[in-house]
């Protein structure tokens, strides 16, 4: 149905799924995930935005390590 619909963005998405079928299958069937890593990245980005323009990387590192 997605391939027959008149939605070019949906066609690009389904082509991407087809191109990387092995990765899609692994993501749906294996118990591994990168949720912890994504959480750390999100937290770091939030801290950087809160501190924007206030300080350099030394204090940012300090906040990340203590947070």
pLDDT in tens, 22-58: 998 998 899 888 888 888 888 888 888 887 777 677 8
How many domains does the chain fold into?
2
Report the pLDDT value the prediction gives residue 21, as an integer from 0 to 100: 93
Please indicate, yes or no, whether residues 39 and 24 belong to a single structural domain of this protein.
no
Rounded to two decimals, what is the model's pTM? 0.44
Residue range(s) defining the domain that contains residue 45: 34-66
Residue 62: exposure state from Cβ atoms within 10 A (0-12, 13-18, ≥19)? exposed
**Are 45 and 18 in a shared domain?**
no
DSSP 38-50: HHHHHHHHHHHHH
Read off the pLDDT band of 67 (50, 70, 90). Answer: low
Q: Measure the CA–CA gap between 57 and 40, rounded to whole angstroms.
A: 17
């Amino acid at each position: 149905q997605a391939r027959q619909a008149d939605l070019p963005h949906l066609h690009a998405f389904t082509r991407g799924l087809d191109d990387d079928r092995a990765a899609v299958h692994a993501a749906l069937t294996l118990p591994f995930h990168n949720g912890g890593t994504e959480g750390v990245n999100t937290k770091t980005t939030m801290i950087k935005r809160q501190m924007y323009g206030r300080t350099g990387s030394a204090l940012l590192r300090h906040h990340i390590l203590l947070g």
